[in-house]
Structure 1
Amino acid sequence: MAKRTGLLKELMYQASLRRWSRAARGADETDLVQLRAQRAKARRLRAHLNRLIHVAESRLALPMIGSTAFQKPFDADWDWRPELWRGPLPVPGMSSVANKSMLGHEVTLFHDCQRSELTLRQVRNMREADLAPFGLRLDVFNFDGSFLSLVVDLPEDAVRGLQKRHLVRVDTIVEMEKPLEVFARLNIKHGPNTEQIVRELPLGDEEVMVEFDLAYTKLNEKRVEKMWLDLIFEGPQMNQVTLRDLTFSRRPRAEL
């Protein structure tokens, strides 16, 4: 039934297209009364078509929801974009964010403010250059705490087969109202111990990449349990930070 309905709609569309094509070809010789009526119909039709084209071009230009496409090393054996940057969340944001508040299942905000003047929300990426469908915006007003960090929990796949010969790469696109120091700390729990590697994100660069070399850790490859990333913001008061994208990948270092 659905197939028959689709065929009928296509036939009606083709018939309408032929009718308007004939009208356009014969416009030079059409009776003026008939031409005036055709013009009125064409204008009404054009208004709907222009609206459709405008909305379609706007929506189709946006990054596709659920997209996992991003640039990664050709020899990566694992890659991932967290859910917040991939698809719409049931709760897209919160204000006066309390310590240890989660946005989605993978992102948690930590701080020690007595009075929270923080907002956290998911935003739709609209730029043509964006590959991630969504971004994360953090607004900080008065800040009376000593630390502010955003923690991203990585999935089990991230540590499956993880070895000291791996390089873990983080790519992000950062926008901020004014310069801000941001540090990325990779944490790997193995048994009772946790390895931590810290890198500072380059100031002034919108597209940022940092790599963590596990060769310089004391990682026990047989006891790796989980991995997470802290993004630590230094002096964040009266600032707005937008993470347009955040992706992870890992690759084995070339043998010497």
Structure 2
Amino acid sequence: MSGFLEKRMLRKSVERWAALADHAGSLPAQEVQELQRTARRLRRKLDLFVASAEAGLIPDGQSEILRPDQCDWAWRPDPWTAPRAPSGVVEVPSPHKLTDSVTLFHDCARSEITLRQTRNTDPSVSSAFGLLLDVYRFDGSFLSLVLSLPDAAISGITRNHYFSLRARVIRENPIEIYARLNIQHGPNTEQMVRQLDLSDDVGLAEFDLAYSNINEKRVEKAWIDLIFDNPAMNQVQLTDLTLTRAPRADL
């Protein structure tokens, strides 16, 4: 913890930068340029500190996940568990990698898409963070978030398993959202598409692998495409998103 002198130095530093901001217009151009470079370096350090400090106050993002009976794997992806720096991006390019496990894709010639991480304050929401997606004019044919599932999701997988994707979604205007599970097994990729069944802003999509043709011994990786249909002039907030795996109940 900082002592008295350290706290005083930090306070004086804040006061000094505030005074410089007030008089920036009267300073010589060369001095302003040097101060700008220093301020940018300082801002990056401050952003990292804020992100680290928030991370220390955030509960385990893998707890409080709704799990079905006999659930053997559960996951809440990083954007919903850990702070990002920077927290927002405008004119989002494609592909845009949010984390190692989540990437946004689109095919717009000109991106009018804004993506921002938000902090959840609703006590009924288990995740620490959410994602806010703003789409204005949209001249592309697709917009999707790709969730790359970790190795644990496919370890020991069989056709007796099913995956469940749950999401809390707040939409400015009605929009259909689809989830496509992709499982690569050997040279083949099995695909299963489900519409996210939204009721009271809570969506569910389930994938029963009994209806697939996967080769259980050759599964290499899996990912889910979360596809937004006709997203133009809309705001979609994904306040939470979780995935689980469980064996089907014996009939």
One-letter code of the match for 1:115?
R
In 1: Cα distance, 2:246 partner to 2:60 partner: 24
1:56 corresponds to which residue? Answer: none
Of stretches 63-72 and 164-173 in structure 1, the one that deviates more from structure 2 is: 63-72
In 2: Cα distance, 1:123 partner to 1:227 partner: 27
What is the CA-CA distance between 1:128 and the residue it aligns to? 1.6
In 2: Cα distance, 1:131 partner to 1:191 partner: 37
- Does structure 1 conserve the Cα–Cα contact (< 8 Å) formed by 2:198 and 2:204? no
Output aligned runs, 1:55-134, within 5 Å. Answer: 64-68=58-62, 69-134=64-129
One-letter code of the match for 1:92?
S
In 2: Cα distance, 1:138 partner to 1:127 partner: 19
In 1: Cα distance, 2:198 partner to 2:60 partner: 29
- Does structure 2 conserve the Cα–Cα contact (< 8 Å) formed by 1:95 and 1:118? yes
- Does structure 2 conserve the Cα–Cα contact (< 8 Å) formed by 1:179 and 1:204? no
In 1: Cα distance, 2:86 partner to 2:181 partner: 27
In 1: Cα distance, 2:172 partner to 2:109 partner: 24
Q: 1:137 to 1:249 in 2, by over 3 A?
A: same
Of stretches 135-144 and 92-101 in structure 1, the one that deviates more from structure 2 is: 92-101
Q: Is the aligned partner of 1:164 residue 2:155?
A: no
In 1: Cα distance, 2:75 partner to 2:178 partner: 20
What is the CA-CA distance between 1:203 and the residue it aligns to? 4.3
Q: Unpaired runs of 5+ in structure 2?
A: 2-56
RMSD over equivalenced CA pairs, Å: 1.6
One-letter code of the match for 1:135?
G
Q: How many residues align?
A: 195
One-letter code of the match for 1:108?
T
Output aligned runs, 1:157-236, within 5 Å. Answer: 157-236=152-231
Aligned residue among 141, 148, 153 for 2:143? 148
Identity over aligned pairs, percent: 51
Q: 1:204 to 1:76 in 2, by over 3 A?
A: closer
- Does structure 1 conserve the Cα–Cα contact (< 8 Å) formed by 2:65 and 2:74? no
1:40 corresponds to which residue? Answer: none
1:255 corresponds to which residue? Answer: 250
Q: Unpaired runs of 5+ in structure 1?
A: 3-62
In 2: Cα distance, 1:184 partner to 1:96 partner: 24
1:53 corresponds to which residue? Answer: none
Could you list the structure 1 runs, at least 4 aligned residues long, displaced by more than 4 angstroms after superposition: none
TM-score in terms of structure 1 length: 0.73
In 2: Cα distance, 1:115 partner to 1:65 partner: 38
Report the 3-state secondary structure (helix = DSSP H, G, I; strand = E; otherwise coil) of the residue aligned with 1:129.
coil
What does the per-residue CA deviation read over 1:161-200, in whole Å, with 9 as the maximum and x for residues that have no partner? 0110001111110011000011111111111111111111
1:51 corresponds to which residue? Answer: none
What does the per-residue CA deviation read over 1:102-156, in whole Å, with 9 as the maximum and x for residues that have no partner? 1122111111100000011211011121100000111101101111111111101
In 2: Cα distance, 1:216 partner to 1:175 partner: 31
In 1: Cα distance, 2:158 partner to 2:250 partner: 13
In 1: Cα distance, 2:207 partner to 2:219 partner: 16
Report the 3-state secondary structure (helix = DSSP H, G, I; strand = E; otherwise coil) of the residue aligned with 2:124.
coil
Report the 3-state secondary structure (helix = DSSP H, G, I; strand = E; otherwise coil) of the residue aligned with 2:197.
coil
In 2: Cα distance, 1:95 partner to 1:126 partner: 24
In 2: Cα distance, 1:187 partner to 1:196 partner: 5
